[in-house]
Amino acid sequence: MLHALLADLIVAFHFLFVVFVLFGALLLFYRRWVVWLHLPAAVWGASVELAGWICPLTPWEVELRRRAGQSGYDGGFIDHYLLPLIYPPGLTRELQIGIGVIVILINAAIYYRVWRGRKNR
């Protein structure tokens, strides 16, 4: 039971991290120091997608699920949890690169807006 709970906590953290990578730059409108947390997270998130890596949290979660007697899964977190919500089944390399580009574009737009707003003051 503990292993299943820990796996669920990793999934929740992983999901929140993905949301932070995509939209965490919005927090810069309220607290500028968040850049020191968000920028490395965004670089990591885009790098994982563009390079085709699997986040280290994924194998950890899968192993905890197996120890809890649950079935693990192949592939990555995005493929298993997020893509079924957003895209048809099956993560292709092109789709993964597209996700990485989307991460970069969303964050570049927000950072530009924050920088522009600061410059206009």
Q: What is the pLDDT of residue 39?
A: 94
Q: What is the pLDDT of residue 85?
A: 60
Q: What is the pLDDT of residue 11?
A: 84
Number of domains in the chain: 1
pLDDT band at residue 35, thresholds of 50, 70 and 90? very high
| pLDDT (tens digit per residue) in 2-15 | 988 898 888 889 88
Q: Collapsing DSSP states into helix, strand and coil, what is residue 14?
A: helix
Q: What is the pLDDT of residue 71?
A: 75
Global pTM value? 0.74
Q: Which domain holds residue 109?
A: 2-119
